[in-house]
Chain A
Amino acid sequence: DIVMTQSPLSLPVTPGEPASISCRSSQSLLKSDGYNYLDWYLQKPGQSPQLLIYLGSDRASGVPDRFSGSGSGTDFTLKISRVEAEDVGVYYCMQALLSPITFGQGTRLEIK
């Protein structure tokens, strides 16, 4: 199975400041079609997860442009350019290259 490792696991951020979450996979997520099969999700408190980024760097519909995804192969990053109060929650990366689909442990973002 592909193991997904996120860091940090806890991320206190001051509103208006940037934030960055790292996700590493135990094997490359770059497929022969040129896409990285890596997605990012946010689970706000008491809610279902919501898709933020798919295929490594494509923003999902309705996601603010302060969210961006980058990386390739085994190293990926989710960046928030200016954190807002509504960004609080747990962020998960997920690999969709191979079954079983696997998620990272989650990174809890909190407001300072």
Chain B
Amino acid sequence: EVQLVESGGGLVQPGGSLRLSCAASGFTFSNYWMTWVRQAPGKGLEWVASIKQDGSDRKYVDSVRGRFTISRDNAKNSLYLQMNSLRVEDTAVYYCGRSVKSAYDIWGQGTMVIVSS
């Protein structure tokens, strides 16, 4: 079964750090761009970052550039999001997604990040 499972969310104080993970299974992970999308409570979807198959190209939304780092380990079939200098406005459910022909065809169940003092 093709599957993505996120983990690593939790409660963190403003200015703190968190590392999200996304474990992929059921497909050849190294063949796909991968993406993080987030959704603040009661709000819409916001693209956060994407990474190319070999990690050579990474893209970020302006609001997280310089604070978040997307990475991957193809040997471990895993995607990561290192989040530093967290702000209250980063509070959201974070989803990882597989990119195919410009679309995100597989999504994980999401992991909640709460930034609060």
Q: Which residues of A contact B (CB under 8 A)?
A: 35, 37, 39, 41, 43, 48-51, 54-55, 58, 60-61, 90, 92, 94, 96-97, 99-106
Contacts and interface: CB of A to CB of B under 8 A. Distances in A.
B46 A103 contact: yes
A103 B62 contact: no
Main secondary structure on B side of the interface with A: strand
B103 interface: yes
A59 B35 CA distance: 21
A96 B104 CA distance: 10
Nearest to B96: A48
Nearest to A29: B102
B46 to A, nearest CB: 7
Nearest to B105: A51
Given A101-B50, A103-B44, A103-B46, A96 B102 contact: yes
B47 interface: yes
Nearest to A53: B103
Contacts of B103: 39, 51, 54-55, 60, 94, 96
Contacts of B47: 94, 100-103
A104 B44 CA distance: 8
Contacts of B110: 48
Of B60, B95, B102, which is in contact with the most chain A CB atoms at under 10 Å from its CB? B102
Given A49-B45, A106-B44, 14 more contacts: A39-B103, A39-B104, A43-B45, A49-B95, A49-B104, A54-B100, A55-B101, A58-B101, A96-B102, A100-B47, A100-B60, A100-B62, A101-B50, A103-B44
A41 B45 CA distance: 10
A100 B36 CA distance: 12
Contacts of A51: 103-105
A100 B44 contact: no
